[in-house]
Amino acid sequence: LALDFLKVKTADAVVVKAPQLRQQVVEILIAVKVTRQDAEITADILVESDLRGVDSHGCGNVVGYATRIQQGTTKAQGDVRVISESPSSALITNDWGLGFAGAHAAMSMAMDKAAETGMGAVTVRDGQHIGMLMYYPLMCVRRDMIGLAMTNGAPCVRPAGGAQAMLGTNPIAFGAPAGEEPPFLYDAATSVVAMGKIGIARRLGVPLPPGWAADREGDWIKEPPAGRSPNWSLAPVGGDRVRGAHKGYGLSVMVDILCGVLSGGGYSALCREGDNHTFMLAMDISKYRPIDEFKSMMDDMIRALHATPPEPGTEKVLVAGDPEHETYLERSTRGIPLHRSIVDNMRAKAKEVRAPVLI
Amino acid sequence: LALDFLKVKTADAVVVKAPQLRQQVVEILIAVKVTRQDAEITADILVESDLRGVDSHGCGNVVGYATRIQQGTTKAQGDVRVISESPSSALITNDWGLGFAGAHAAMSMAMDKAAETGMGAVTVRDGQHIGMLMYYPLMCVRRDMIGLAMTNGAPCVRPAGGAQAMLGTNPIAFGAPAGEEPPFLYDAATSVVAMGKIGIARRLGVPLPPGWAADREGDWIKEPPAGRSPNWSLAPVGGDRVRGAHKGYGLSVMVDILCGVLSGGGYSALCREGDNHTFMLAMDISKYRPIDEFKSMMDDMIRALHATPPEPGTEKVLVAGDPEHETYLERSTRGIPLHRSIVDNMRAKAKEVRAPVLI
């Protein structure tokens, strides 16, 4: 759910249509020697993010990915391969290529296993950014499956009671199909906010609310910092102990175990900035109960939640995936409003790598 | 993690040894016609809870379970059986017997499937209270597996932005074994606190902190209410929007989907008080990577978290399972301090059902 004060102001926006934006991402990636297949997978995920209003994980990030490839931090063509496998499980390495390739392969594999045995879980080591996490459970939803995805990353979140970052934002995404209603699609960091929100707040020049980020003395900071540093860290979900920061912290370590320790890639504190190890799980609903009955009960549940009397100051109770679904409907027809600086950076990168400028 | 102000005061405590307490639970349950096997499973789980300091889910609850059996709300001998099954999945019904029977059977089944295929997930419908959720991943940890358990229940938690309870406390428990360190054992409601905490606060006569429970107008309440009512509800983890209440809400619905919708037993709003539908997942670590390497990395991670510089006012950064492990070491030798009223109620129930009084 996007907080209003973090939205791009109309005056700063350049509106671009999705197909054009997708093609621009593909061209930039191919220009830095990514295979067409991986470039298209990556572009699909980045565009889906922009279409759904998850601006922090949108196409603008291709500039950074291309730069990492140019610098050699990310391999242009990683050799994604299986390390170990059983009927419902697998461990694969992404071989330090673009994270999207391994993550997409992992969820595809998990779904194929689920179709056979009821469920599949694949953990991926040696990965890099994999974009909007919601994309992967969305792959499951499109196959009438339930999907769960998690990823870890370099430390920027303090444990409850700690004064130093030890955990990534370690998000969890979960999706389940409904019938007539949009699918349930949850995607949230186990930190109080995702790291991208701090960058957005800085770009928009708005102060951070208390409960988000603290300095080494444990005092909340207002000024959005320019980037990661040992001098500040995000709080886990809950913000403080009374509101459940120890719960957010525990969930974050759960993510770290499934992504970093189970894969052997390493827990957050062993990750360099940009590294991600990932866990993907798919469940075939029809192995449990008839899919139509499942979807019909999902519809009932979603409608009941929507019908909850709202508290004063709230217009309507939402369900995870609602705001992204609405944004999707709007942006897939009207186009995607990108912050001017993002468009400028993408154009500059395209020129630099001698890719056509399409936006 | 137990908040200090919720602990039983020494003056109000009666200390009972675990084996005695276990036997008292078994005798009460057998007296109301529960099978010896189910009575012992239930007693093991309740005692483990008391030993680990999870007082809200301890042996005192046997009084309520026995009463429900006497009233016919819970069957003394439910017919736990498989409705659908595949190599890694199953749906079973608990047939409205004691919840512990079906939950224990489900996790046992999930582990057996995991040993074959890498993982197993079993969802249980038509259940009742299953006690301390952490017990079930602990079963996995003892078999060198990773365990995940969730359960839903009757509404007492509002959705973010809602003014009415629509969700159970819908907890998540997760466990993973370590080598020399105690296992990672997470167990927490997706509400800001578990329902049991409100009862404890009331018994101890302490006010509720803001962020825990709100009335129909959305104002935080201080006086711990006597029981569930339409006039108040708990907040999701995070407490308010800025600190992530929408995340706690989303996780709660995820639990509801896996427990209530996947099983067909019904989401929270369809549950009567005391009903629970449950989801159990087990993963065989050795199918992914050698168990010794996994455990060694777990040790490293846990030690790194313990070594985090604490923020002012915190003595040491803890890891999920630490306080329960310490309490376990203490209580398994010195005995379990039960609130006097709990002992009185257990004795009274034993007399009423003509079971021997052992505590």
At B35-44, the pLDDT tens digits run 999 999 999 9
Q: How confident is the model at residue A125 (pLDDT cuts 50, 70, 90)?
A: very high
DSSP A147-185: EEEEE--S--BPPTTBSS--B----EEEEE--SSSPPEE
For residue B174, list chain A residues with Cβ-Cβ distance below 8 A: 250, 254, 257
From the list B91, B118, B240, which residue is nearest A289 (CB)? B91
- Mean pLDDT of the B346-356 span: 98
Q: Cβ distance A287 to B82 under 8 Å?
A: no
Cβ contact (<8 Å) for A243 and B211?
yes
* pLDDT of A193 strictly over 80: yes
Amino acid at residue number B89: S
**pLDDT of amino acid A6:** 60
Mean pLDDT of B301-315: 95
Average pLDDT over residues A274-295: 97
Helix or strand run (H / E) with residue A130: none
C-alpha to C-alpha distance for B119 and A8, rounded to whole angstroms: 44
- Interchain proximity B308–A162, CB inside 8 Å: yes
What one-letter code names the amino acid at A320?
A
Confidence of residue B203 (pLDDT cuts 50, 70, 90): confident
Using one digit for the tens of pLDDT, what is the confidence trace for A196-238? 788 888 888 899 998 999 999 889 999 999 888 889 999 999 8
pLDDT given for residue A1 in this prediction: 41
If you measure CA to CA, which chain A residue comes closest to B310? A162
Residue of B nearest to A87 (CA): B117
Which of B1, B6, B88, B246 should one mutate to test binding to chain A, selecting the residue with the greatest count of A CBs within 10 A?
B88
Select the highest-mean-pLDDT range: A227-236, B55-64, B285-294: B285-294
The residues that bridge with B336 in the sheet, in sequence order, are B16
Select, from the ranges A8-17, A238-247, A285-294, the one with the highest average predicted confidence (pLDDT): A285-294
Q: DSSP of A83-120, one letter per residue?
A: EEEETTEEEEE-TTB-HHHHHHHHHHHHHHHHHHHSEE
Helix or strand or coil: residue B80? coil
Across the interface, of B163, B237, B318, the residue whose CB is closest to A238 is: B237
What is the overall mean pLDDT for chain A? 94
Query: CA A328 to CA A307: how far, in whole Å?
Result: 23
Distance (Å) from the C-alpha of residue B170 to the closest C-alpha of chain A? 13
The answer to whether residues A274 and A155 touch, using CB atoms and an 8 Å cutoff, is: no
Beta strands in A246-335 (DSSP E): 275-284
The pTM of this model reads: 0.95
Note whether A322 and A187 are within 8 A (CB).
no
Give yes or no for residue B295 having a pLDDT over 70: yes
Tell me the C-alpha distance between B327 and A72, whole Å: 50
Listed range (A202-206, A208-212, A291-295, B165-169) with the worst mean pLDDT: A202-206
Mean pLDDT confidence for A256-263 = 98
Question: How many beta carbons lie within 10 A of that of residue B41, not counting itself?
Answer: 22
Smallest CA-to-CA distance from A278 within A102, A116, A88 is with A102
Predicted local distance difference test score (pLDDT) of residue B239:
85
Give the residue-averaged pLDDT of A296-317: 96
Q: Tens digits of per-residue pLDDT, A28-40?
A: 999 999 999 999 9
Q: Choose among A265, A42, A279: nearest CA to A154.
A: A265
Angle made by CA atoms A47, A53, A58, in degrees to the nearest 5: 40
> Do residues B12 and B56 touch, judged by C-beta distance below 8 A?
no
Using a CB-CB distance cutoff of 8 angstroms, which residues of chain A are in contact with residue B185? none
pLDDT at B1: 41
Contact by Cβ (8 Å): B47, B22: yes
A234 contacts A193 by C-beta, under 8 angstroms: yes
CB contact under 8 Å between B261 and A172, yes or no, is no
* Res. B298: pLDDT tops 60: yes
Q: Please name the residue that has the structure tokens 């609130």.
A: B339
